[in-house]
Amino acid sequence: MKISILDYAARDEGMTSSQAFAATTELAQLADELGYHRFWVAEHHNVPVWAKSTPEILMAHLASHTTRIRIGSGGVMLPNYSSYKVAEVFKTLEALYPNRIDAGIGNSPGGDRVVAQALNEGKTEQPDYQKQIQDLLVF
């Protein structure tokens, strides 16, 4: 059986973001040592108890501090971004950490209305998710 972990880089009471990231890194390293299959990180915005909102950056950090475990996004909220940019990010991660990167893609804004508007400045309508997925696969 393949066992994975989904981590939110939670900030316990009194904990700084740096401490939360250090705890997440330690957990990923332990999972790597114990033979877990994958370590997922998620994209959430404007949630004070979670230290992260950019899974791609955290994925690069975790991959650089582990040796064999797969590192994945659970997931990148595609409507907030260009399919091309998401494809470039994951191609880069895959080139840096071959056969260890998994791109999980989501369809929600990853936060409240204020966050969705801030992430989508200038967009007047919700992108066509199916088209974005098709574009992502092409890129």
The percent of the chain in helix, strand and coil, each rounded to the nearest 5, is 45, 15, 40
Report the alpha-carbon distance of residue 92 to residue 101 in Å, rounded: 10
Name the residue among 51, 52, 17, 55 with its Cα closest to residue 39. 55
pLDDT, averaged across the chain: 88
Number of domains in the chain: 1
Q: Within the chain, which residues score under 70 in pLDDT?
A: 109-112, 115-124
Read off the pLDDT of residues 27-59 as tens digits, 9 standing for 90 and up: 999 999 999 999 999 887 777 777 777 899 999
How confident is the model at residue 115, as a pLDDT?
67
Give kind and range of the element (H or E) at residue 121. none
**Longest Cα pair distance anywhere in the chain, in angstroms?**
47
Alpha helix positions (H), 35-69: 55-64
pTM for this predicted structure:
0.86
Show the domain range for 113.
Answer: 4-138
How confident is the model at residue 123, as a pLDDT?
66
Give the Cβ contact number of residue 124 at 10 Å: 5
CATH number at residue 76: 3.20.20.30
How confident is the model at residue 35, as a pLDDT?
97
Pairing of strands 70-73, 4-7: unpaired
